Amino acid sequence: MSVSAVSAPATVPAVSAVTPAPAVAGDRFGGALLPVLGRDVAVPLVTGGEIGHAALDYAASAPALQRVWDDVAAYAPYYGSVHRGAGHLSRLSTDLFESARRTVAEFLDCRIEDSPGEARSGKGGGGRREGDQVVFTRSTTDSLNLLAAALPDDCRVFVFETEHHASLLPWRGGSRVTLLDAPDSPEQAVRSLEHALADREPHGPALVCVTGASNVTGELWPVRELAAAAHAHGARIVLDAAQLAPHRAVSVRDLDVDWVAFSGHKLYAPFGSGVLAGRADWLRQAEPYLAGGGASRTVTRREDGALDVRWHDGAARHEAGSPNVIGAHAIASACEALREAGFDALAAREERLIRTVRAGLADVPEVRFLSLFGDDAPRVGVLSFVVDGWNSSHFAAALSAEYGIGVRDGLFCAHPLLRALLGGDPRTPGECGAPEAASGERPLDAIRVSFGAGTPDEHVERFVRAVRELVRDGARWSYRTVAGRCVPDTSA
């Protein structure tokens, strides 16, 4: 959304803080490659010289799209307080913030208000159904904690042990939470959920939480089928789309989920905002997630000295404090950029990069990729693996120090899932950077490579060459452990 789209003054310049990056030379699928910041950053190699940094940790935080940066830079001089200011910049900022909310709703294909005949009793009773709300939060983690705070007191929660901690930990509550075992196929996931929901006692309100794409294996989960199972048993469902939304179109309406949560920093908009979008009723009935200005409609003092507060009913109820208008604007800009690029083209290019990794390492028996549903399962650009004879921290450190490649190692904030995938294959303890193990366990860890709309072919091809060379020849440098991390030993 350009600033001019929200009635900016005619004098607003076409601000571009950074000259847009040119297309990557030699990229065979450049039509779907989006310019991102940091692509030309040079990093030092421990063996001498510099090389362009290959950022292959998109699953943690994706770089900012050039377009997002330019849109934020264009708006920044006109920043003002949102909702409560009378000045022109405040009114412009309020328009921009609410425009971002509409853009996100369109990006997620949120539902408009149903007619009386379209409401379904399986989703919380008959009668007229409200349209979806878009609430701006700080991240996926914040969004799911918000929803957890809004659950009815007697609500049961069903969640697979395979979830990221952001969608696994907010629901802790003893008997209220049913933790489902890691499935070995999409079909088993649906069957497991159906059985758990059918057997629940009492048969009151229930919520299912499921990821759209695993942050460990990249595998796509059967969201539509899980939603159908949840609704058939009178439960609601929230989709953790943190890893899905940057890679695939997410339609609340088509997937038939009740809520969806995602983070700006994984959607090429790392400016501190996230989204929770979906049904309004539980959110409206709950106490505000944060109490403060903006969430309150009126505050009065009674004769006994206590305060009476009337809270807002809409999204503002859970957006206390000064809204992060820059973060919201950045998310909206990213949504528009991805939609215009076309998810079909982005996904096709990403699938080619996945094949490049798999084909390039197919004849390296020391490399084993991790998977729940099988190597051929559909996935986004996230692959995790272990290398025989290597501690993962040591391997990741060598990729960075000797090849300028940034990946992730460890348990990826998904400890139960990694234990399920690696339970029979622990890494050798005592090596450089060996991770801290749980009580009674040997160390477990893995390496994750992840990429997306801004990843040039060269980065992925360099990664494949580096893995092959490290497995064949070993590291060219010595490494030591510092504060639990494996780092190059520069003491000599």
Task: Just list the catalytic residues.
Answer: 413
Gap between the Cα atoms of 457 and 463, Å rounded: 10
Strand ranges inside 293-414, DSSP E:
296-301, 307-311, 367-369, 382-387, 405-406, 408-410
Amino acid found at 49: G
Sign of the CA dihedral running 417, 480, 459, 57: positive
- Helix/strand/coil for 148: helix
Cβ within 8 Å of residue 431, ≥6 positions away: 390, 391, 393, 394
CB 446 within 8 A of CB 418: yes
For 433, the token pair is 């950077």
Q: How far apart are CA 187 and CA 207, in angstroms?
A: 20
The Cα–Cα gap between 256 and 402 comes to: 47
Q: Which tokens go with 140?
A: 């996926």
* Angle in degrees, 0-180, between the axes of helices 343-361 and 457-473, rounded to the nearest 10: 20
Is 23 in contact with 30 (CB distance < 8 Å)? Answer: yes
Residue 36 in 3-state DSSP? strand
Per the listing, tokens 């798999």 go with 358
- 285: helix, coil or strand? helix
Is omega for the bond preceding 170 within 30 degrees of 0, making it cis?
no
Q: Is the separation of the CB atoms in 248 and 232 below 8 Å?
A: no
